[in-house]
Amino acid sequence: MAELAQVIVDVPTMQTDQPYTYAIPKRLESQIQVGMRVIVPFGRGKREVQGFVVGIDQPTEYDGTLKSIIGLMDLVPVVNTELLQLSRWMADQTYAFWISCLYTMLPNALKAKSHRVVRIVDEVDEQTSLDLFQGADELDFERYQNDPQIVSQLLKLKRQGKVSFEYQVEDRARVKKEIAIQPLMSFEQYEDERVGVRANAHAQQRLLSYLQQIDGQKVKLKQAEQQSGLKAGTFNVGEKRGWLKKIAVETYRTPAGMIPDDQHLDSPLKLNPDQQAAVAKIDQAIDQAQNQTFLLQGVTGSGKTEVYLQAMAEALRQGKTALMLVPEISLTPQMVNRVRRRFGQRVAVLHSSLSDGERYDEWRRIERGEAQVVVGARSAVFAPLENLGLIIMDEEHETSYKQDETPRYHARDVAAWRAEYHHAPLVLGSATPSLESRARALAGVYQLLRMPTRVNQRPLPPVEVVDMRPEMQRNGETNFSDRLLNLLNERMEKGEQSILMLNRRGFSSFIMCRDCGFVLKCPNCDISLTLHMDSRTMKCHYCGHEEPIPSICPQCQGRHIRYYGTGTEKVAAELQQLMPSARVIRMDVDTTRRKGMHAKLLKEFGEHQADILLGTQMIAKGLDFPNVTLVGVLNADTGLDLPDFRASERTFDLLSQVSGRAGRADKPGNVVIQTFNPDNYAIRYAQLHDYEDFFKAEMNIRYQAGYPPYYYTVRIMASNEDERAAAKAIYEIRNQLSVSLSKETVVLGPTPRPIARMKNRYYYQIIVKYKHDPKLHALLKDIMRQTQAKSRQDTLVSIDPEPQYFM
Ligand SMILES: Nc1ncnc2c1ncn2[C@@H]1O[C@H](COP(=O)(O)OP(=O)(O)OP(=O)(O)O)[C@@H](O)[C@H]1O
Ligand SMILES: [Zn+2]
Ligand SMILES: [Zn+2]
């Protein structure tokens, strides 16, 4: 009789996606649990891999041929029952491997790295032992793998059967330890010790008093030094005298901006009637554990965040937990602090600028129930909160909620799954809901909650659209219309601030030869290289290729190379010329790359250390600066003519969001949108703050063209270094689909992908549009299975349900 475990192994080349059965050795029987990571032998040889226990069977008879689990990596499960179920569902929905879904849920620190070691298995001569292995019985192969001499020596030993190559799983999650002191005596005993200490040995006397004072408690050494005013040396003396001992205690790395214990918390604001109505509806659903989805459609500055905060407070009052998702770029310190000042220590924050260690610490605080409120970007949707009472997704229309690599999940779907699991409400909030969500609200699937006006009846700012064509004829090439310049100067004089946005979606600075028109392109990909002035190089944003800026045209050897495109740098330079006394903060990928810079720049702007904040899309969302009364959009057009049916929706969203940054407090605001397409409907409706009419117009276009939300879409891509092979693969898939799919389903393509070559691979794609096709899911799973099995032929196939981009 033996117990058996079902294990999903971490083998990237795995052809199947099924759990493997392993025997549980007697010594592990009492410890092993579902959701733990284990180390198991896999395949031939001594290869050891990591795996997840996804099931434990009843004890059964077995014939003894099964391999046994080698060891446990965890003392407690890292994935609970809920997340285990979720991972399985996600694998099915996104056509991904179960193991990748499991890993996606865990913080990086818990993702194991397979590590190779060389172990001596038979006697080797002394010389070898000393030279190669330094007397030890194994060596770290990763360190020597690039030394051909050592490698060949090792290979020789291997042929002689003296060493084995092994895979070892190394756990990267390192708990941070700190030194603490532990008093060893009772109050009276310390009193007795005083006798043996000279009266003028003040430090030691003080230490004794301090130890009496802390009354047997462990105190971190740093803290003890602060509290007692004593130096580390005195504690060493205390240790020698047996008064205390030093121990290592587990500690959390503190992410910047952490609220200290004694911080006073903000009290909730008094809600206006719209907010009150929304909160009441959500609270009711929390109290009754109803799995209702709400669409909170509130204009910019209508106080959606306050609604979220008060609804979360209700969940906590009910003894439950709350999860709030926001797009990465609106996860600003301003926003995080707003939540922290409301809920203090109960908040955990998960965002991408945390180090692996910090993220792991936050994750553990959640997992242990120490944090009951979680705020975070996309992957925070997997936060191991138990007893969820409410999930919020702010800016629900944001495309960054969809992961664009496998597993290609949409956080909105995952959130909906979890809300259902916990019988909890889900609140989707936005000033410009996605067409999909708004259509569901229209159909009654979601409950619509509206907040059509700004807090305190402040008006939405008037928006002017400036046609840049006559401006260019008048003033030559410029990024600033006369109107925008006038307003900028006026704000400066009044001591008010402005935000300028440079729309850079699908757009970059590049160089072109004026003589022959040559554009420098990436040698591996089908796109032009981007100019980076800070590193003085040309970079490819897809594959990372980098080369020096040419001074001579590689094609015609001419010397007239021109810089094209309006990078923020160039705009900042022009602005400085036009307004020499303006203080400008530039915010883009380059100036915010260093950790903490994003926060620092926003803080400076908030403190009015600058008059103008000039930035890319990253400044469009979430910022709430009362002194900002002017917003300028320098180029509304980029992005409008991308080959993507969502281009207009994105432009409308972006313009509405950024306009919403103006005039949020007492002073009224203005918005100027510069464009070469003043008649475009997305720009027109954004000018009028008219979501409803934009929605109608756009829905009509989607209906005509048969796009979401009228149809669902799946994109299937095949890539290969050999272009013909990629094309052949996609044609085969297409043929396979066409014979089985329903009449209503449309297959578009095959076509080369708009960016046809990336990292030296050619891409071909088809788009499947369908309304209801019962066979499609199974067919796609088949295709995935077949193509994985054929992966030796170097063709990669990916299946992307509801793609957000078609580039
Ligand atoms: N009931 C209220 N009373 C007074 N002020 C409020 C109230 N609710 C919100 N505010 C304030 O109004 C401002 C705008 O609110 P908030 O940032 O929550 O709006 P929002 O709808 O989330 O905006 P956006 O979508 O533009 O980011 C904030 O400064 C907030 O503190
Ligand atoms: Zn040239
Ligand atoms: Zn490239």
For position 807, what pLDDT does the model report? 61
Lowest-confidence pick of 178-192, 258-272, 344-358, 563-577: 258-272
More confident residue, 99 or 420: 420
Res. 505: pLDDT tops 50: no
Predicted confidence (pLDDT) per residue in 349-369, tens digit: 998 777 777 888 888 899 889
Whether cis (ω within 30° of 0) applies to the bond prior to 462 is: no
- CA 547 – ligand 2 centroid, Å: 18
- CA 557 – ligand 2 centroid, Å: 6
Tokens 């908030």 belong to residue: 606
Question: Coil, helix or strand for 712?
Answer: strand
Handedness of CA 329, 332, 338, 341 (dihedral sign): positive
On the 0-12 / 13-18 / 19+ scale of CB atoms within 10 A, 650 is: buried
List the shell of residues around ion ligand 3, using CB closer than 5 Å.
522, 524-525, 540, 542-543, 545
Predicted confidence (pLDDT) per residue in 157-180, tens digit: 877 878 876 655 555 556 667 788
Predicted confidence (pLDDT) per residue in 388-437, tens digit: 999 999 999 998 899 988 899 999 999 999 999 999 999 999 999 999 99
Predicted confidence (pLDDT) per residue in 651-687, tens digit: 899 899 989 888 888 888 999 999 888 888 999 999 9
More confident residue, 479 or 171: 479
Q: Distance between alpha carbon 269 and the CA centroid of its chain, in Å?
A: 30
Give the pLDDT band of residue 506 (cuts 50, 70, 90): very low
User: Which ligand neighbours the alpha carbon of 553 most closely?
Assistant: 2
- CA 545 – ligand 3 centroid, Å: 5
Atom nearest to 270 CA in ligand 1: 1
For position 507, what pLDDT does the model report? 42
Res. 206: pLDDT tops 80: yes
- CA 624 – ligand 1 centroid, Å: 8
Give the pLDDT band of residue 535 (cuts 50, 70, 90): low
Residue nearest to atom 29 of ligand 1 (CA): 624
Closest by Cα among 794, 732, 797 to 763: 797
For position 385, what pLDDT does the model report? 97
Is 101 annotated to bind a ligand? Reply is: no
User: Which ligand neighbours the alpha carbon of 653 most closely?
Assistant: 1
Residue nearest to atom 23 of ligand 1 (CA): 301
Lowest-confidence pick of 46-60, 158-172, 329-343: 158-172
- Report the pocket of ligand 1 as residue ranges, CB < 6 Å: 269-272, 275, 298, 300-306, 431, 455, 622, 624, 660, 664
User: Which ligand neighbours the alpha carbon of 516 most closely?
Assistant: 2
More confident residue, 503 or 464: 464
- DSSP annotation of 109: G
- CA 117 – ligand 1 centroid, Å: 57
Give the pLDDT band of residue 337 (cuts 50, 70, 90): confident
For position 161, what pLDDT does the model report? 78
Tokens 């299975």 belong to residue: 785
Atom nearest to 621 CA in ligand 1: 27
Predicted confidence (pLDDT) per residue in 761-790, tens digit: 888 889 899 998 888 999 998 888 777 765
Give me the chain's average pLDDT, please: 85
Q: Give percent of the chain above pLDDT 90.
A: 40
- CA 745 – ligand 3 centroid, Å: 35
Looking at this predicted complex, what is its ipTM? 0.94
Greatest alpha-carbon span in the chain: 97
β-bridge partners, 751:
765
More confident residue, 13 or 489: 489
If one residue of 336, 624, 654 were mutated to test the ligand 1 pocket, choosing by the most ligand atoms within 8 A of its CB, it would be 624
Res. 12: pLDDT tops 90: no
Written as one string, the DSSP assignment of 561-606 is EEEES--HHHHHHHHHHHSTT--EEEESTTTT-STTHHHHHHHHHH
Lowest-confidence pick of 74-83, 166-175, 456-465, 699-708: 166-175
User: Which ligand neighbours the alpha carbon of 511 most closely?
Assistant: 2
Residue nearest to atom 14 of ligand 1 (CA): 301
What are the φ and ψ backbone dihedral angles of 20, each rounded to 5 degrees? -100, 150
Predicted confidence (pLDDT) per residue in 713-754, tens digit: 999 999 998 889 899 999 999 998 888 888 889 888 888 877
